[in-house]
Amino acid sequence: MIHKFKLSGYNILLDVNSNGVHIIDDLTYDLLDYVEPPFEAECPAEIVDKLKDSYPEEDIRDVYSEIVELYNDKILFSEDDYEKFAETAIASPIKSMCLHVSHDCNLRCDYCFAATGDFGTGRKLMTFETGKKAIDFLLRESAGRKNLELDFFGGEPLMNFDVVKQIVEYAREEEKKVGKTIRFTITTNGMLLTEDKMDFINNEMSNVVLSIDGRKEVNDRMRKRVDGRGSYDRIIENFKKFVPMRGDKDYYVRGTYTKYNLDFSEDVIHLYEQGFEQISVEPVMAPPEMPYAITEEDLPKIFEEYERLSKRIREILDSGKFINFFHFMLDLEAGPCAIKRLKGCGCGNEYVAISPEGDIYPCHQFVGMEEYKMGNLDDGTFNKDMKKEFAGAHVYSKPECRKCWAKFFCSGGCNANNYIYCGDIHKSHKLSCEIQRKRLECAIMMQAVKLLDKAE
Amino acid sequence: MKHIKTINKADLKASAEKGGCGKCQASCQSACKTSCTVANQKCEREA
């Protein structure tokens, strides 16, 4: 399978199964409409006939030969032979956990998938006892895995920060006993960030995700305090103080764009201009009837906006400055192995979420859905059949993924979005896929141009 | 080649043979929490 596209003046050709990327001229671009394996020794006359009014015949024959050469080198029209791996790597240990220490929040964001913090199940904080059980569960169920991850999530986790500290202290003792390392991360809206919390987080957490949507008016329209006032002024101040204190440690400022700010490249640039270099801004996921929801009619504007963003980011990088936009990160020369690329996020299989009550769910987005409760830490239940169901949700068991050129980049997309919007974890959420593919085209183009410049 | 410039020769097939060690990060955790991209992750296999 191949995928070709035109972007920013470049013709890009991706060989899906080898991950080979090529920059091609217009003739090659057009000729690829007419060829596929098996190839002949010389360019067939009917193909020459189709193109000879636009291009010299000799060039058409040359391009055909180049395509055949790359095919023989197995970096064009290469075979997809990964399916056997999808079925063999089923039973993965759990290595990653989302710990919902607080189903309460001090903001009332309109688009919150957690129903403004409580996931529809009532405002509640996790106890230290439940947190301990979660750590024990993670250390036990991770079997031979040494590198584990735990994200403190909510609601707003800083509303239960004493318990966060106790859990970290407990985990640090327990991980040593079994020779493992837990990388802690925290996702916060920043309202309660004080210097002592910043110090603790900087000492203990390898990454922090700081929620802010961008420009003040954009942020405050959706991210409101309980009394309806905006949150921007407080959080921007806290984040500006916090990020430099992190030194070399990772962080992301992470925003959501909606129908109200389809010019979201302005928000990315706004965040950059506030001094942040690690930025993630993502489309809201919401039922189409919500006024802020992104719908299919918004796609042309969104596509344009990603192109605009890629241009602005290239300008920043070309000027010798640094910015990293999460969804344009791509390593075309290495990156994760093919096996990793078959299964996506690992939700319900390598990754679980724990509610304040100690209920186990496949991921944070499934929390509160009774039909997807996998078990409970208090009664020791854990539904291994459901784990298997998620382990089997890979690019070959999702019909739309099978035929999609982006499958080895996005790896099957978000199972939760599939379930919420299409009723089945195997049914791809079309809108997410369309946006994902556009982001990937931009990312591939940016990386290809970078590598081309390096080579020249 | 005159018409096609190959940018990378990353061969996913070779990575499949040696892959699947599982030491890498679970992808959804890293920064997004609402959309999944895997190809932006680092391989953490020890040499």
Confidence of residue B36 (pLDDT cuts 50, 70, 90): low
pLDDT, tens digit, for every residue of A266-300? 999 999 999 999 999 999 999 999 999 999 999 99
What is the average pLDDT across A91-112?
Answer: 93
Confidence of residue B40 (pLDDT cuts 50, 70, 90): confident
Q: Which of residues 295-324 of A touch B (CB under 8 A)?
A: none
- Determine the residue of chain A that is closest to B30 in CA distance: A207
Measure the CA dihedral A124/A347/A213/A263, to 10°: -150
> Å from A217 to nearest chain B CA?
22
Q: Which helix (H) or strand (E) holds A217?
A: helix A216-222
Cα(A93)–Cα(A141) distance, integer angstroms: 6
Q: Above pLDDT 70, what percent of chain A?
A: 99
Least confident of A22-36, A102-116, A193-207: A102-116
Q: What residues of chain B lie within 8 A of the CB of A335, using their CB?
A: 10, 39-43
* Beta-carbon separation of B45 and A363 below 8 A: no
- Determine the residue of chain A that is closest to B11 in CA distance: A18
Cα(A161)–Cα(A418) distance, integer angstroms: 33
Q: Above pLDDT 90, what percent of chain A?
A: 89
* Beta-carbon separation of B29 and A185 below 8 A: yes
Q: What residues of chain B lie within 8 A of the CB of A350, using their CB?
A: 22, 26
Nearest by Cα to B31 from A272, A186, A439, A342: A186
Q: Choose the closest CB to B4 out of A24, A332, A333.
A: A24
- Determine the residue of chain B that is closest to A206 in CA distance: B30
Confidence of residue A203 (pLDDT cuts 50, 70, 90): very high
Q: What residues of chain A lie within 8 A of the CB of B20, using their CB?
A: 85, 89, 337, 339-340
Least confident of A10-24, A75-89, A272-286: A75-89
Q: Are the C-beta atoms of A209 and B33 separated by less than 8 Å?
A: yes
What is the average pLDDT across A199-204?
Answer: 97
Q: What residues of chain B lie within 8 A of the CB of A364, using their CB?
A: 33
pLDDT beyond 80 at A424: yes
Q: What residues of chain A lie within 8 A of the CB of B15, using their CB?
A: 336-339
- Determine the residue of chain A that is closest to B12 in CA distance: A18
Q: Choose the closest CB to A254 out of B18, B31, B44.
A: B31
Confidence of residue A90 (pLDDT cuts 50, 70, 90): low
Q: What is the mean pLDDT of chain A?
A: 95
- Determine the residue of chain A that is closest to B10 in CA distance: A333
* Beta-carbon separation of B32 and A448 below 8 A: no
pLDDT, tens digit, for every residue of A26-66? 999 999 999 999 999 999 999 999 999 999 999 999 999 99
Write out the two tokens for A106.
Answer: 């001090």
The pLDDT assigned to B41 comes to 79
Q: Is the dihedral of CA A28, A34, A38, A44 positive or negative?
A: negative
| A454 and B CB contact within 8 Å | no
Q: Are the C-beta atoms of A267 and A218 separated by less than 8 Å?
A: yes
Nearest by Cα to B33 from A186, A336, A191: A186
Is residue B45 exposed (0-12), middle (13-18) or buried (19+ Cβ within 10 Å)?
A: middle
Q: Which helix (H) or strand (E) holds A96?
A: strand A96-100
What is the average pLDDT across A68-91?
Answer: 86
Cα A306 to chain center, whole Å?
16
* Beta-carbon separation of A70 and B6 below 8 A: yes
The pLDDT assigned to B11 comes to 76
pLDDT beyond 70 at B47: no
Confidence of residue A122 (pLDDT cuts 50, 70, 90): confident
What ipTM does this complex have? Answer: 0.91
Least confident of A118-127, A165-174, A433-442: A118-127
> Å from A276 to nearest chain B CA?
14
| A142 and B CB contact within 8 Å | no
Confidence of residue A85 (pLDDT cuts 50, 70, 90): confident
Identify which has the larger pLDDT, A192 or B26. Answer: A192
Nearest by Cα to B5 from A449, A17, A440: A449
Q: Choose the closest CB to A27 out of B3, B33, B42.
A: B3
- Determine the residue of chain A that is closest to B18 in CA distance: A337
What is the average pLDDT across A157-173?
Answer: 98
The pLDDT assigned to A23 comes to 97
pLDDT, tens digit, for every residue of A291-314? 999 999 999 999 999 999 999 999
What is the average pLDDT across A225-229?
Answer: 95
Confidence of residue A318 (pLDDT cuts 50, 70, 90): very high
Q: Are the C-beta atoms of A53 and A114 separated by less than 8 Å?
A: no
The pLDDT assigned to A264 comes to 98
> Å from B27 to nearest chain A CA?
5
What is the average pLDDT across A119-140?
Answer: 94
The pLDDT assigned to A396 comes to 95
Cα(A154)–Cα(A118) distance, integer angstroms: 8
